[in-house]
Chain A
Amino acid sequence: MSQLLKRTLLAATALIASASAAQAGAITVYSALEEDEIAAYLAAAKTALPGVEVNVLRLSTGDLGARLIAEAANPQADAVWGFAVTNTMHPDILKQLEPYAAKGLDKVPAQFKAKDNAWFAATGYVGALCVNTEVMKAKKLPMPTSWKDLTNPAYKGELVMPNPASSGTGYLQVAAILQGAGEAEGWKLIKALDPNMAQYTTSGSKPCKMARAGEFAIGASLAFVAMQSIEQGYPVKMVIPSDYAGYELEASGLMKSSKNKADAKAFLDWTLSADAAKLYASFKEMTTLPGAPQSAMAKKAGLPADLTKVLYPMDFAKSAKEREGILKTWQATVGR
């Protein structure tokens, strides 16, 4: 019995010991970037920063935001990397960030970084429609090019979009329409889309996954998911709405509480380096670093080389501030 007890205690101590992660030369980074890009970036960062071990916790934007706020009393991360800027601006998260002028920050245009340098965004993602070409053919539906097209009653029950109350992607689409068309016209358009909308999903990538599986004809989602679906061989065509294409910036920043700021800063510097920019070009539909070429995947999916031509210049501070009010109106008008 005592032998067993001793062994149990030993095991327990080992379990607890595995907890203590703080270690010289190691940093913990929270990220909402995509799984496969993180792996590629980290491999490159390892060569550039041989002395720094970067441990990344990857969660979806919503879950990561919840975790960051929950841990506010005793933050566990040294840096945040590629996290939706709308969520970064939540006061409980923003106050955990320490302004830091990373090396190369001067190259980033002003609209892609905070005035006080609390965050900067090297990359972003773009809202897009995933259109299942097989379903379109079978149901003889016209190919849409804009949100306005989607109000055509022919699409009734064939559209899916994320619920802006639970998905950042859903919110960026609604915000783009409202900012682009103005309050009155914007709400009119959103209301006109509602009869065609079969479902408002919980997550932002889901509409595209439903569309690519042939469950619905068109899913309003993200360009990244659309491009990946095309790459994987699904019968999907990506359409960036020509009227109001929303996008979101992926912000990075230094945590005030970091116990290894030197390494965290070195890593943040690296995310703005030429090395990193080259990699963004192979994964991202949108980068804020000048001179980065367009990715092959984006080209194949038909994304315009100059995104600024199709993207509505979004005001993220405004978008974050008005979120609560917009969601209230949304729930009152079309919420199901």
Chain B
Amino acid sequence: MSTARLAPADRLLLVVSIGVPLIGLALFFLYPLGTIAVRSLTATDGSIGLANYAAVLSNPGIGAATWNSLVLSAATTAICLVLGFAIAYTLQRTRLRGRGLVTVALALPMLAPSLVQGLGILFILGRNGLVHKWTGLPVDAYGFTGLLISDVFYALPQAVLILQAALRHSDARYYDAAQVMGAGRWRQFFDITLPNARFGLLSAGFVVFTVTITDFGNAAVIGGNFRVLATEIYAQVSGQMNFGMGAVVGILLLLPTLVAVAIERVATQRQFGGGSESAIPVPPDSVRARDLPLGILVHGAALSIILVVATVVFASFVRLWPYNLSLTLKNYDITIAGGYRPLWTTLEVSLVAAGLGVALLFLLAFGMKRLPPALAKLAYLAAVLPVGVPGMVLGLSYVFAFNLGDNLLGILYGGSLLIALCNFYHYHSQGFLTMMTGMRTVPPALEEAISCLGGGLGAVLRDAVLPFIATTAVSVFFFLFMRSMVTLSAVIFLITPRLSVAAVSVMRLDEAGFVSQAAAFSTCIIITVLAAMMAMRVALNWASRRRA
């Protein structure tokens, strides 16, 4: 569909639908990132050059940290892709029991503050954890193993988000044809299911790799002496107040995101299988030989996640973990760090971030294939770049970019809207890739048919795109909502004395030495988010039933 053929109103709609998200990306991501690039080139004495890069590369610890980061991210990616695909497949294509439980379990790492899984793993697998107490074995979760476990917990739900979108719509006729031709189930899986999910797998692998390499929270809690690049940034910026060197590591961490260019190439190829206007949905089925091992794997993963979070929730009701396990509610009496007020602020911020975010992502994903190829490539790269930026770097970049006094952009500084925007752009890549994966299942022929019949762009959106993308859009909304509720590393640079968020409360309680209260506050966040999501689901169901 070329732009020239469009009616003026449609052209306007198209320009807005692409223009607004692109301007947003430029203003709230590329421009702040630019300030970091400038910092990385500014030496301590104020001169411009590559001095910081030279200093970082000659730093004795940097080689080991880079190697550690790469090994850790590769291992996390391998595990998350296998496990994530098994889970997504189970949820979309099987009738395995307890799928609801798996969905809830997967939401937990996304809606629990990062402190929770670190604490949980230590409570269970720490040197003085439950396993040690019950078995007497010398366990030690610190270092690579513990970090790998917590990174898998952290990244797995994000992989499943994308993989589910990839498996959501497919065409049963391919499977029927394969069956008729005598292809076995394995053959069907390798020749139809996997190739169809190729874009999703690539995107998920990309997201897992980059979120792992940029994550600081898990590394600080459980990494022990296993130094990674994200802890190097923290040591430079927070430990030594050396912004130039920190900025350099931040820029270097963007390198893995350039792989995204290759993914984009795959994205422009047509794929068979999904996206046909007359597709017959693949019905979930039960196959004993497949479902038993799959069930063990998937439920094993889900139960591990629940166990870790449940341990922390339990500890929040305990007088003094692990010495006095009598139960109490006193940890919930939180008065310092602003009490429970930040929880409500965060709810507001997260609704804005998710609502605004899903609308912008939808428009961007819809507009993408209507852009000229060269521009599309650039837009694509910009859209997936945020995942390569560690939260701390993003937060600092927002200070550089928006702490300007009373001009138009400066007015945002110190307000909750900027926090919402920061949270959204922090998780822009995951939302975008999920939306694009979902968008690929929209049958192009259907869009063409509607426009041939004289339907405008609006009609295409309403009748072709929306029905196919609605489920994925809702999952993206919830993803953004959950992450915005608990993300920490960027927002600590944007909060003010009067405006704080829940994740900061958890951090402050933990820093003040009140670990049980931090666990209690985290429990309140988890319950609030779950309740809010349930309420929204009910409202959504009600609305869609009324429309139908």
Contacts and interface: CB of A to CB of B under 8 A. Distances in A.
Nearest to A77: B497
A39 interface: yes
Contacts of B396: 66, 70
B417 A165 contact: no
A228 B243 contact: no
A198 B142 CA distance: 10
Given A16-B412, A67-B399, A199-B225, A209 B493 contact: no
Given A76-B496, A229-B513, A331-B60, A202 B231 contact: yes
A7 interface: no
Interface string B320-344: 1111100000000001110000000
B404 interface: yes
Contact of B415 (A16, A59, A209, A225): A16
B61 interface: yes
Given A16-B411, A74-B405, A215-B128, A202 B220 contact: yes
B493 A66 contact: yes
B227 interface: yes
A114 B405 CA distance: 30
A39 B336 contact: yes
Contacts of B420: 15
B515 interface: yes
A208 B399 CA distance: 33
Given A163-B235, A324-B240, A331-B61, A213 B336 contact: no
Nearest to A68: B241
Contact of B128 (A93, A214, A228, A229): A214
B243 to A, nearest CB: 6
Interface in A53-74: 55-60, 62-63, 65-67, 69-71, 73-74
B493 A62 contact: no
Given A76-B496, A205-B513, A234-B320, A71 B403 contact: yes
A321 interface: no
Interface string A1-40: 0000000000110011111110000001100001110010
A74 B495 CA distance: 16
A67 B323 CA distance: 38
Instruction: Pick from B240, B322, B399 the residue with the most CB of A within 10 Å.
Output: B240
Contact of B511 (A16, A73, A168, A205): A205
Nearest to B123: A213
A58 B513 CA distance: 14
A20 B411 CA distance: 8
B224 interface: yes
A214 B323 CA distance: 9
Which interface class (under 10, 10 to 19, 20 to 34, 35 or more) fits B? 35 or more
Contacts of A163: 235, 239
A269 to B, nearest CB: 20
Nearest to B234: A166
Interface in B233-262: 234-235, 237-241, 243
B493 A70 contact: yes
Contacts of B235: 163, 165-166, 202
A285 B337 CA distance: 22
Contact of A202 (B59, B234, B499): B234
Contact of B241 (A36, A65, A200, A229): A65
A215 B126 contact: yes
Contacts of B493: 63, 66-67, 70
A117 B496 CA distance: 27
B443 interface: no
Contacts of A29: 497
Which interface class (under 10, 10 to 19, 20 to 34, 35 or more) fits A? 35 or more
A327 interface: yes
Contacts of B492: 59, 63, 67
B377 to A, nearest CB: 32
Contacts of B511: 35, 60, 203, 205
A170 to B, nearest CB: 8
Interface in B468-523: 492-493, 495-499, 508-509, 511-513, 515
B239 A332 contact: no
Contacts of A228: 513
B417 A58 contact: no
B414 interface: yes
A50 interface: no
A56 B499 CA distance: 11
A223 B219 CA distance: 26
Contact of A225 (B324, B412, B513): B513
Contact of B324 (A70, A233, A332): A233
B127 interface: yes
A93 B243 CA distance: 13
Contacts of B324: 233
B413 interface: yes
A198 B328 CA distance: 34
Contacts of B225: 199-200, 336
17 contacts: A16-B415, A16-B417, A19-B414, A19-B418, A55-B496, A58-B337, A62-B237, A62-B239, A67-B492, A70-B403, A74-B405, A199-B224, A213-B122, A214-B127, A228-B513, A235-B323, A331-B60
Interface of B: 59-61, 122, 126-128, 142, 220, 224-225, 227, 231, 234-235, 237-241, 243, 320-324, 335-337, 352, 396, 399-400, 403-405, 410-418, 420, 492-493, 495-499, 508-509, 511-513, 515
Q: Considering the complex of A and B, which 8 residue pairs feature the smallest CB-CB distances, nearest first?
A: A62-B238, A19-B415, A55-B497, A166-B239, A214-B128, A166-B235, A35-B512, A70-B399
